[in-house]
A = this chain, B = another copy of it.
Amino acid sequence: MSLTIFDIAKEAGVSTTTISRVLAGSSKVKNSTREKVLRVIEKHHYEPSEVARNLTARKTNTIGLIIDEISNPFFVDIASAVEEILQTRNFMLMLSSSQWKEEREFSIVRNMIRQRVEGLLIAPINPDSPAVDFLDKRNIPFVLLNSYSTKFSADCVTTDNIAGGYLAGSHLVKQDIEQLLLITGYTHQSIDDRVEGFYAAVSEAKNRSLSVSRYENINTYKDGYSLATILMVRNSISTKKSGIFVTNDNVAMGLLDGLLEQRVQVPETVQLVGYDNIDFAARYKIPLTTVSQSRNEMGKIAALELLAKIENHGKEQRVLKLPPKLIIRQSTRGENP
């Protein structure tokens, strides 16, 4: 295996303490000694073991990031921002994905605790999942991403999804439409909040009474695509002016493609609002009106928050809900404010 500090000490004819001092850049080493030691170190490309160091120091300079799936575009921006911050602070990043399975999420958390990560950034499947409960029980600093807990006093950084749903809803009710449709996917706190905000906007539009039909469990691009024909039959959307809120851009694009395929006029007959403002939303066939979250900022803030908690143990709880923004494009007819 690789050399140890002991080997280097022997070859340099000094004690391990001296090697350690040189490694630490201590000034209390005679110059000639230091140079002799450095020569030996370089000769063998010796790199000290952080494993051993971590054991002595009782810290690892590592944090864990747990997300649902790596291919979730949401994750990419978060992770990117997080990693950028960590590099400036000399922290390492341990990454794992829960694949939407609570047992897996839980086991990852336990694993990371065993690895003695100094803190955890987690986008939980559910803010009351056993994993979060476990973290809460232990004294590990952690920050929730894209969720907030009503049960634990957990720090979190997320978007104000109620406000986001409200933005989508109030934009649509202002349009010239006869009915509203709400399309949702996987159950998740963030989605529930969007729905809540959406309904709040609808019920505030007192001047008119609009029906809302909801379709649940529409999760993928393909699901969205297939939904188009169903909506034509069940909601006559090819003739009845409709406003549709899809709680996820990817699905919204599927629905949009389905609608275009069926020659439904967008935005003349159907107006569509998505959620996320993913990269391609702006350049899609019909650019998509959507609600934008600043994911990069979320990642940055969460990472900084976590590092602050790690350093400064007594930090109070912070719940941060960043304001979303409505981006009006050609899939609806409103003007950008």
Contact = CB atoms under 8 A, between A and B. Distances in A.
Contact of A70 (B79, B110, B257): B79
Interface string A88-125: 00001111110000001000001101111000000000
Contact of A76 (B70, B96, B284): B70
Interface string A279-299: 010011100000000000000
Contact of A95 (B51, B95, B257): B95
A134 B45 CA distance: 9
A336 interface: no
Q: Which 3 A-B pairs have the closest CB atoms?
A: A70-B80, A50-B114, A95-B95
A60 interface: yes
Interface in A1-53: 1-2, 45, 47-52
A204 interface: no
Contacts of A128: none
Given A51-B54, A52-B55, A55-B52, A97 B115 contact: no
Nearest to A92: B94
A102 to B, nearest CB: 15
Contacts of A55: 49, 51-52, 55
Contacts of A70: 76, 79-80, 83
A211 interface: no
A58 B1 contact: yes
A111 B83 CA distance: 15
Given A2-B138, A51-B51, 11 more contacts: A45-B134, A45-B138, A47-B110, A50-B115, A51-B55, A51-B60, A52-B55, A70-B76, A80-B97, A280-B280, A284-B285
Interface residues of A, number: 46
A178 B104 CA distance: 57
A213 to B, nearest CB: 26
Contacts of A76: 70-71, 76
Interface in A170-212: none
Contacts of A253: 283
B95 A93 contact: yes
Contacts of A268: none
A71 B77 contact: yes
Nearest to A52: B55
A60 B87 CA distance: 22
A122 to B, nearest CB: 15
21 contacts: A1-B58, A2-B139, A47-B110, A47-B114, A49-B114, A51-B51, A51-B55, A51-B60, A51-B115, A51-B116, A70-B76, A70-B79, A71-B76, A71-B77, A76-B76, A83-B95, A92-B94, A92-B111, A93-B94, A253-B283, A285-B285
